[in-house]
Structure 1
Amino acid sequence: PGDDVIGGSQVLSDTLTVKVTVNPDETFINQMIRMVESSKRPKTPNEQAVTIVLIGLTGIFTILIGALLGVSLVLSLAADLSVLIALYVCLLPTTIGALLPSIGLSGISRLYKEKIVAKSGRAVETAGDTDVILLDKTGTITVGNRQAVEFVPFPGFNEKDVGEAAFLSSWHDDTPEGRSLIRLAYENGFVPKEMNSLDASEVYEFSASTRTSGVKLAGGTGFMLPKSGGTGRERGRLRRKFEPHVEGGVPIGSDEIEIIKGAPDAVKKIVKSVPADYDKIVQNISSAGDTAMALSRNREAIGIVRLRDVLKPDIREKIMAVKVMGIRPVMITGDQPLTAKSIATEVGIDEYQPEAKPEDKYHIVKREQADTRIVAMIGDGTNDAPALAMADVGLAMNSGTQAAKEAANMVDLESNPAKIIEVVMLGKQLLMTRGAVTTFSIANDVAKYFAIMPVLFASTVPELKTLNVLGLGLNTAVLSALIFNAIIIPLLIPLAMKGVAFKPSGTMTLFLKNTVIYGVGGVIIPFVGIKLIDMGISLL
């Protein structure tokens, strides 16, 4: 039996014989649909915490005002009901409730500037709570297309021989790998003078059955050797290199030069012989996490091209920033363990999942969430839809399937998987902004309470006058507090929309910074604001 084939697969080359082995309602696609339908994003701990804070503060202040009213009635204190209601309005956590939607909207707006469509502000804010980020190796950590990085010659040949052969065999190859071979040869000056023969060449397209491609060029006499600009020795070298070889008086390939490139084991089968260290060189390249491509000229193995999945620019710095924020990156790849370990080590990722199947993402997400962790991930295929629907933060590529885009709560219009890191960092900034607003609001309520309480019962409890450090009058104090309460929200909206200054750092560092700046500020600003408003009212 061969490999499993998913419905809708496209045959790119050769032919494929497929046997239907499952019932219509048991196909892979149907399994994906059932998994998506059963997926439900749980509430994050931060969402639950904010809800508890709002309900808790409202309950505490309700009980407090009720207790004050009861005490004033029992002890016959002159407490004005309208003043108590005004105090209650001032103490309610209206600042948090009013600014949280603004923070969510700012997240949606700022993501849209990065060509990412978020389906809700909650999705963006949830990104700030991320504990684990699942990163596809291909397209997120690496460019996604293997690039030629080195020409490795066999004994009897040099790097230039391999580079020129790679250039000639790749001239008609429009794949990213083919273009990278030409680029590397050009950068090293390995451009043969015989390029005019390429127009009349016979091209061997890549085939899945042979796992090779190549080119057949006209004979050596057909090459246009340089008449000037090169030494006679150089022109002689080119002529000897590409003119027919003769063994025992019999011309070999007298009218053509054939260059083949492909998988090492496939090329090994078509050449006359291979060097003794052929397999060792291939194994060493594979052990380093790279891919080996063999080259032959006229059925003679001449060297190996080292192909590497090139890392994306600044990916190491981004991974480091993610780890500093306390987020655990996990690399998901279908590569073999050696390759996966090499790439993960190079970018600084400690945890990786090699030889991963599409459904493995879904199970990893469920496993992490079972340990109460917030998971962010990316995907673009129908097989990613269940994991995208289950993940707390699911980023789908616009170039992906409709199922993936519907299951995710964000869609990247530029289809750049690496943007998941920017999404998480923006979410962290929104989380920090939300924390700053919450800290300021609670400190603000405490300050307003101690600003008004001494004035409220000062007439019946003279000892409280000593606590009236602002020197407020009863009527103006309450009115000043209400005015301050009304104007502080619109004044804080720009902060909510822009967000607080953010640099990747640990959770405790951010907490202490918020407490010092916005906690202390939340205590001082109400006293100053209420006093200034009270002075203004007194002048009227």
Structure 2
Amino acid sequence: MSSEAKTLTKGIQKVSLFEKIKPHAELIAAGLSGVLIIAGWLFDKYGQGVDSIIAYLLAFVIGGFAKAKEGIEATYENKELNVEMLMIFAAIGSAIIGFWTEGAILIFIFALSGALETYTMNKSHKEISSLMELQPEEALLLVNGLEKRVPVSELQVGDHILIKPGERVPSDGMIIKGHTNIDEAAITGESMPVSKSSDEEVFAGTVNLTGAITVQVTKASSDTLFQKIIQLVQSAQSEKSPSQLFIERFEGTYVKIVLLVVLAMFFLPHFLLGWSWHESFYRAMILLVVASPCALVASIMPATLSAISNGARHGILVKGGVHLENLSRLGAIAFDKTGTLTKGKPEVTEIIVMEGLDRESLIWKAASIENQSNHPLAQAIVKYAKQTFKKDLLHPDFLEDVPGWGIKAKIKGEQWKIGKAAFVSQDVDNFADGKARELALQGNTLVFIEINGELSAMIALKDVVREETKLAIDHLKKQGIKTVMLTGDSEKTARAIAAESHVDEFFAECLPETKVDHLKELKTKYQTVAMVGDGINDAPALAIANVGIAMGEGTDVALETADIVLMKNDLPRISEAVRLSQRMNRIIKQNVIFSISVIMLLICSNFFQFIDLPFGVIGHEGSTILVILNSLRLLKS
């Protein structure tokens, strides 16, 4: 390799390393600041004063650079001082009166808080790129009967496109030729493929499973339902939390009051109370230190981190303290059905065989026929037969797939038809004393079997409710939280699943934007609302909810969009997370009240000259240590 090539390679490696480190720069700076504080303390302990001051100065610069830059820029832009500037003034003030350690610790705590906030913000934007990966980049355009591959962005309304089996639909449109099964899980969340034929609508991002179809484009690429999902996620994430709005509203006032009082302490006591200039300056510096929100910061961050660590040990991954805080105020919680309340895959729930027929032989032959299909219902029947009978399946003598209806086959000299009710030749309503209607009302999908022209059996399949779902819902109800199910399923199926899972209310036939509308209505009624889901279609609802909760086995988009992830798909963990949130908020409230009380006591003692600097520092730092110790109680299970 030439020297130029080696230089170029090294340059690329350096850029790559820099890009990897960049998102974590603030966290690294905070860590270095902490190390330098320890070094400064050790130098001071062993009498190396100059080295100690140098270490503290480096801790100030490295740890405080990012927040100082942010505070100065925000002050310049908004023409108003902020908490960042007050923390910087307090740190400088403590250094001026010789307390370098306190100033450096103040900078370290604030730097760590800012670093964690920046890191969380960077992580929260990844779901947009994950969504974009599911949008096809090219489409097969039909021009005068010829196929031409073009970028999706060039498609026009009215264009005809060919979509082959296994391909994703590139744009919203209407089928004008062909018949197929479409996997619409990316849009509706429904696990069952939907049969589609002429004059029926298809959506971008869904998957064409079985047959080739010709589609007429009905929407521009920027207006598709899939693009709306992306826009909804972006819009929801741009909304600020109530905590953010509260801080932004009052931080300027707090800073102004503290700085004005400190400034007044420079002059008023000298002229009104006869204090010396030295005493006035000394008391003003003490005020700047004790009035700094160091204890207030420590009231929240350690408690939040302890609670998050506790949750992580129990399979509850929380992406930020504000989300855990919101859990304790939940008025309602909405659940997606497929893959959340249910297992997400159809299972055989009941098989009814006509009297006089060999049940085992019939199911075995039916599974042998269905084994030739990749439809989820067919595979569920095959799985049931294999688990039940533990023997090899047969090979049909003849087989014909009838798209949208079922399958015809000949096996061991018998003529078989397996499929929908309308596919078999007899009236199914009277089969097994009307059992079909009863099973359908329970949310089952029914598959009928006809042998040699005679209706012989019926197989009921359903996406069954998880075993732990009822327990989880009941726990949430006891905590006074309203439970709601949002699903893309039909009204009949939704009603059956809602009753079985014990939810208070349900909304059926929901598209992603419909789920968002329901979430907005729930937020208006209950103020703080959570959404639990696992699919791409749930991403906008997860983002718009006050707290988005994703199942650990869900899609990457749902995991990235959500604020909380249940790592083991364990729904009862939600109730545990609510209790953890209540404990955390209770401890934070204790810390805040205590720290404010100490600050007010120190300020009053300083004004009446009852306290000197060493005792002021002990009171200030002591209150910080006490609130941290109180916060660490959250580490206990």
TM-score normalised by length of structure 1: 0.64
Aligned match of 1:390 = 544
Aligned match of 1:149 = 349
Pairs within 5 Å for 1:439-518: 439-446=590-597, 474=610, 479-480=614-615, 482-490=617-625, 492-493=627-628, 496=631, 499=634
Aligned counterpart for 2:365 among listed residues 145, 168, 173? 168
Q: Is 1:95 aligned with 2:295?
A: yes
Aligned match of 1:362 = 516
Aligned match of 1:15 = 212
Q: Is 1:217 aligned with 2:428?
A: no
Moved more, 391-400 or 311-320: 391-400
Q: Distance in 1 between matches of 2:394 and 2:336?
A: 40
Name the SS of the counterpart of 2:213 in structure 1.
coil
Aligned match of 1:5 = 202
Alpha-carbon distance change, 42 to 411 in structure 1, aligned in 2, over 3 angstroms: same
Report if the CA contact (8 A) 2:539-2:558 is conserved.
yes
Report if the CA contact (8 A) 1:130-1:374 is conserved.
yes
Deviation of the 1:8 alpha carbon:
3.9
Aligned length: 434
Report if the CA contact (8 A) 1:130-1:424 is conserved.
no
Alpha-carbon distance change, 323 to 260 in structure 1, aligned in 2, over 3 angstroms: same
Name the SS of the counterpart of 2:202 in structure 1.
coil
Alpha-carbon distance change, 377 to 455 in structure 1, aligned in 2, over 3 angstroms: closer
Deviation of the 1:137 alpha carbon:
0.6
Aligned counterpart for 1:276 among listed residues 419, 423, 430? 430
Report if the CA contact (8 A) 2:296-2:595 is conserved.
no
Alpha-carbon distance change, 291 to 409 in structure 1, aligned in 2, over 3 angstroms: closer
Alpha-carbon distance change, 146 to 372 in structure 1, aligned in 2, over 3 angstroms: closer
Residue by residue, what CA displacement relative to the aligned partner does 1:62-109 show, whole Å, maximum 9, x if unpaired? 899999999978985989654576467446553231242334445665
Pairs within 5 Å for 1:123-142: 123-142=323-342
Task: Give the AA of the match of 1:319.
Answer: I
Residue by residue, what CA displacement relative to the aligned partner does 1:372-393 show, whole Å, maximum 9, x if unpaired? 7233335565554443443333
Structural RMSD (CA): 4.6
Task: Give the AA of the match of 1:18.
Answer: V
Alpha-carbon distance change, 322 to 59 in structure 1, aligned in 2, over 3 angstroms: farther
Q: Distance in 2 between matches of 1:123 and 1:484?
A: 32
Aligned counterpart for 1:437 among listed residues 585, 588, 596? 588
Residue by residue, what CA displacement relative to the aligned partner does 1:133-159 show, whole Å, maximum 9, x if unpaired? 2211111001112222323344x347x
Aligned counterpart for 1:374 among listed residues 525, 528, 533? 528
Aligned counterpart for 1:289 among listed residues 427, 443, 446? 443
Alpha-carbon distance change, 435 to 51 in structure 1, aligned in 2, over 3 angstroms: farther
Alpha-carbon distance change, 52 to 203 in structure 1, aligned in 2, over 3 angstroms: farther
Q: Distance in 2 between matches of 1:443 and 1:106?
A: 19
Task: Give the AA of the match of 2:201.
Answer: D
Aligned match of 2:505 = 351
Report if the CA contact (8 A) 2:307-2:584 is conserved.
no
Q: Distance in 1 between matches of 2:343 and 2:395?
A: 34
Q: Distance in 1 between matches of 2:240 and 2:575?
A: 17
Deviation of the 1:328 alpha carbon:
2.4
Deviation of the 1:5 alpha carbon:
0.7
Report sequence identity in percent.
Answer: 24
Q: Is 1:26 aligned with 2:229?
A: no
Q: Distance in 1 between matches of 2:600 and 2:444?
A: 66
Q: Distance in 1 between matches of 2:394 and 2:417?
A: 17
Q: Distance in 1 between matches of 2:428 and 2:519?
A: 47
Pairs within 5 Å for 1:33-52: 33-46=230-243, 48=245
Deviation of the 1:353 alpha carbon:
0.5
Aligned match of 1:224 = none
Q: Distance in 1 between matches of 2:583 and 2:258?
A: 26
Report if the CA contact (8 A) 1:153-1:303 is conserved.
yes
Report if the CA contact (8 A) 1:90-1:481 is conserved.
yes
Report if the CA contact (8 A) 1:375-1:392 is conserved.
yes
Aligned match of 1:310 = 464
Report if the CA contact (8 A) 2:598-2:620 is conserved.
no
Aligned match of 1:264 = 421
Q: Distance in 1 between matches of 2:586 and 2:250?
A: 12
Report if the CA contact (8 A) 1:132-1:376 is conserved.
yes
Report if the CA contact (8 A) 2:512-2:540 is conserved.
no
TM-score normalised by length of structure 2: 0.55
Residue by residue, what CA displacement relative to the aligned partner does 1:333-360 show, whole Å, maximum 9, x if unpaired? 1222232122212222111101112321
Report if the CA contact (8 A) 2:263-2:284 is conserved.
no
Q: Distance in 2 between matches of 1:129 and 1:274?
A: 51
Alpha-carbon distance change, 440 to 105 in structure 1, aligned in 2, over 3 angstroms: closer
Report if the CA contact (8 A) 1:133-1:330 is conserved.
yes
Task: Give the AA of the match of 2:214.
Answer: T
Task: Give the AA of the match of 1:358.
Answer: P
Report if the CA contact (8 A) 2:290-2:599 is conserved.
yes
Q: Distance in 2 between matches of 1:452 and 1:354?
A: 59
Name the SS of the counterpart of 2:347 in structure 1.
strand
Alpha-carbon distance change, 175 to 85 in structure 1, aligned in 2, over 3 angstroms: same
Deviation of the 1:2 alpha carbon:
2.7
Deviation of the 1:15 alpha carbon:
3.2
Deviation of the 1:112 alpha carbon:
5.9
